[in-house]
Structure 1
Amino acid sequence: MNILAQEVIELPYSTDSEVKWHTEEKEFYSEIWETQVVTNVSVPRLEIYKANNPNGTSVIIAPGGGLYGLSIESEGRQVARWLNDRGITAFVLKYRLVPTGVDGIKEITDESVNNPAKIGERVKPVLPLSIADGLAAITYVRTNASDMQLDPKKIGFMGFSAGGAVTMGVTFNYTLADRPDFIVPVYPWMTVVGDYEVPENAPPMLVVCATDDPLQLAKPSAALYMAWLENDKNAGMHMYSKGGHGFGMKTQGLASDDWIAQFYSWTLTEGLTTISSN
């Protein structure tokens, strides 16, 4: 459990899935990814980070990790703390992941070289569960909004890479009750999402990616932006020439380092948040 989260709550989930976990959830520092990770999430949970002076806006954050793990710091808790400083309450979502051995990061790294098709096979039955966890997170925040001094009409959903796939899965499967009020897919893994149609009442969207993403996510990210544009939906995009993949809150000395400040400016422009008085 992360001691910096004020609270960690378990989300409701269905247990009738054929996916079974045999290794306990584990948080550790991955030498391969050079960051803190979580693997083998079988029970979805929300880590709650309340702003000292909440302005009513909240963001649910879905870290990336190929659905084999969660880059919990760089694409989760660090984002939450940054948002907290600006009055935005944040929720880091631990969504269900592919069941792996003790080191899921090593598994996906090895498979990406030796058997890439296997990744798709293992992810396919799990992604619907991860998306269901994302929808459950929105329901929780909206249901408890008044208790947390939050506006139930200013709930955003931000996801990185595989978390971006969860973000878009949420966007393509919501009902009125669990619709996100704005979405921020950051270098989203769109190929795993498959074909999609822009919802009739699609939420405002800001896409973030880098042209030099080694996983070739720039084109599908641009296509996602164009889909919103062609359907007359509110959309913005920051496509950085350099940044690579998985930059999250890392400092690289590149323009992409400022993506989160650009996101914040966008929320102010769109009236999705307000400047918090400290």
Structure 2
Amino acid sequence: MKKLILLTCIFISMNVLAQKMVDLPYEKSPSVIWSTDEKEYYTDIWATEVITNVSVPRVEVFEADQPNGTSIIIAPGGGLYGLSIESEGRAVAKWLNNKGITAFVLKYRLVPTGIDGIKEITEEGYTDPEKIGRKVAPVLPLSISDGLSAITYVRTNSNKWQLDANKIGFMGFSAGGAVTMGVTFNCNEANKPNFIVPVYPWMTVMGEYSVPKDAPPMLVICASDDPLELAKPSTDLYSAWLTSGKNAGMHMYSKGGHGFGMKTQKLASDNWISQFYQWALTEEFIVTTNN
């Protein structure tokens, strides 16, 4: 009897988890082939939980107990070789849930690697950085397409999740920041984000860009001491929005490094998400009297 109860509980738990993960529609690439299965694991190199070899795009849904109508799609970073799924994904989603925001953590398609994509990108970063660029080039358009598909899904199903179809944000970290901006540069009226939050975005991989005429309000977040030298491209992005007369904000911290996400470093940058929340309140993307 105990075994039956245990199996029933496991089955129910699996069903609950299954309801939280949604496959997104996508077109297969004839040139990018995955031979290693998707894998989630803890990496000592980055000291966090990661996912590699994503070949099928999905969103992991985090529902707020008391949804306020605002939703945010979160694109974790990882150089397109992996996803920093906890620090730049699920932990962000849970924080947002506490503020009434429904979150969708995006698992976008990644560079095909062996069993340890984080080890691969680390070694290639030391031995052959240009190789990373060559591998990323055919995959980034797929990742951007997955981001657009995620917005379409959330907007189409806004009633199901008790959401305002006009308050859908897109927040991305590092490579996820590149996805965020790729979405912004390639969207149409149906899959346009209502606001964007590129966090230490990997803008150097984007090449030349121009500010869309209908560019959404944007909050850029980065640290001056980013070891990947993403501070200047981040300020350039902010300046481009500002020069074009678009709604733009920026928090540039003197210290924080790269990939800080939801990690605690006892620095001012630890408060970035609270400051994002205040910005969203100011811009009325979040309307609440409770927080």
> Which category describes the TM-score, using the shorter chain as reference length?
over 0.9
Gap runs ≥5 in structure 1:
none
SS state of the match for residue 206, structure 2? Answer: coil
Distance change (3 Å), C-alpha of 1:10 and 1:72: same
Identity percentage over the alignment?
Answer: 71
- TM-score by length of structure 1 reads 0.98
1:242 is the counterpart of 2:255: yes
Match of 1:53 among 61, 66, 72: 66
SS state of the match for residue 91, structure 1? Answer: strand
Match of 2:270 among 253, 257, 271: 257
SS state of the match for residue 204, structure 2? Answer: coil
Match of 1:120 in 2: 133
Match of 2:225 in 1: 212
Q: Give the aligned residue type for 1:127.
A: L
1:226 is the counterpart of 2:239: yes
| Deviation sequence 1:20-50 (CA, Å, 0-9, x none) | 0000000000011000000000000000001
| Deviation sequence 1:219-275 (CA, Å, 0-9, x none) | 000000000000000000000000000000000000000000000000000000023
CA distance in 2 between partners of 1:217 and 1:267 (Å):
24
SS state of the match for residue 104, structure 2? Answer: strand
Match of 2:44 in 1: 31
Instruction: Note the C-alpha offset of 1:15.
Output: 1.3
Instruction: Note the C-alpha offset of 1:5.
Output: 8.3
CA distance in 2 between partners of 1:17 and 1:9 (Å):
24
- TM-score by length of structure 2 reads 0.93
Match of 1:85 in 2: 98
Kept after mapping to 2: 8 A contact 1:50/1:90: yes
Match of 2:35 in 1: 22
Q: Give the aligned residue type for 1:158.
A: M
1:41 is the counterpart of 2:41: no
Match of 1:62 among 60, 65, 75: 75
CA distance in 2 between partners of 1:30 and 1:240 (Å):
27
Match of 2:214 among 170, 193, 201: 201
Distance change (3 Å), C-alpha of 1:10 and 1:189: same
Instruction: Note the C-alpha offset of 1:147.
Output: 1.2
1:148 is the counterpart of 2:148: no
Match of 1:183 in 2: 196
Q: Give the aligned residue type for 1:51.
A: A
| Deviation sequence 1:156-203 (CA, Å, 0-9, x none) | 000000000000000000000000000000000001011101000000
Kept after mapping to 2: 8 A contact 1:98/1:126: yes
Q: Give the aligned residue type for 2:153.
A: Y
Q: Provide runs of 4+ in structure 1 moved above 4 Å.
A: 1-6
Match of 1:158 among 154, 171, 176: 171
SS state of the match for residue 100, structure 1? Answer: coil
Q: Give the aligned residue type for 1:80.
A: A
CA distance in 2 between partners of 1:53 and 1:5 (Å):
22
CA distance in 2 between partners of 1:16 and 1:98 (Å):
12
Kept after mapping to 2: 8 A contact 1:5/1:47: no
1:104 is the counterpart of 2:117: yes
Larger Rg: 2
Q: Give the aligned residue type for 1:69.
A: G
SS state of the match for residue 225, structure 2? Answer: coil
Q: Give the aligned residue type for 2:265.
A: Q
Instruction: Note the C-alpha offset of 1:277.
Output: 4.0
Kept after mapping to 2: 8 A contact 1:54/1:276: no
Number of corresponding residues: 278
